[in-house]
Amino acid sequence: VPEHAELAWILGCLTNVPRLLRLPQWKMKRASQNNEGTVGLLTYPVLQAADILLYKSTHVPVGEDQVLHLELAQDIAQLFNKKYREFFPVPKAILSTTKKIKSLRDPTVKMSKSDPQKLATVNIVDSPDEIVLKFRKAVTDFTSEVTYDPDGRPGVSNLVSIHAAVTGLSIKEVLHQSAGLDTAHYKMVVAESVIKKFAPIREEIKKLQEDKSHLIKVLEDGAEKAKELAVPIYQEIRQLVGFQ
């Protein structure tokens, strides 16, 4: 749907560079790439804003780490509305009850697909053995009791958060169930809960991957539906900014 990229250019002309440079994701990724951050990496949050605003979205489900990017989309919407006319709704965040999931190897940073440490991130398609290994190697501390203290005990607290997320239990309920367990045994409890949660999803992914024609059809149908929504809105935007 090329209207996404075209709108991103328009919105980019309303966005100042210092604002983008302040975003933490840019700072982190640029630092990890030896100061070789690209223009595309810098302006990606503007493309995210275009993804949202092109459909006049009012509410957006986001993770905690994306809240600042959504705030950028809100600011861009308001800038556009002020410069032209009231056109975009200012989208609100829908945050899940689960906070940011942290790396299993460094519980001070978020879990990331791009983490070079393979044991740091649990993938949905991981085998049960791989999941068990990752949780067995998860960084905790020298206290064996299972408690929830994100500042004082980030490693164990991260396991508790993951356990609560995959079971649907509250932190308090997880701690109650885990009373009397040491962290070594608790890691395996969390691993089994994750395996149970991911098993049907992993099987569905495997089944879908074996039917490429179906996946292509889903993508094509989705693109067509998106284009039906996007094109008339983008045409209005073109008229507002003077492209036609």
At 102, phi and psi to the nearest 5? -95, 160
Residue labelled with tokens 């569905």: 204
The closest alpha carbon to 194, from 160, 243, 242, belongs to: 160
**CA 85 – CA 121 distance, rounded (Å):** 45
> What is the torsion angle, in degrees rounded to the nearest 10, for the CA atoms of residue 158, residue 160, residue 164 and residue 170?
-120
Catalytic residues: 29, 110, 113
Bridge-based pairing of strands 59-62 and 92-95 is: parallel
Beta-carbon contacts of residue 208 (< 8 Å; ≥ 6 apart): 214, 215
Q: Where are the alpha helices (DSSP H) in the chain?
A: 3-12, 17-21, 24-32, 39-53, 67-83, 128-136, 154-167, 171-177, 183-209, 212-241
CB 4 within 8 A of CB 51: yes
Largest CA-CA distance found in the chain, in angstroms, rounded: 70
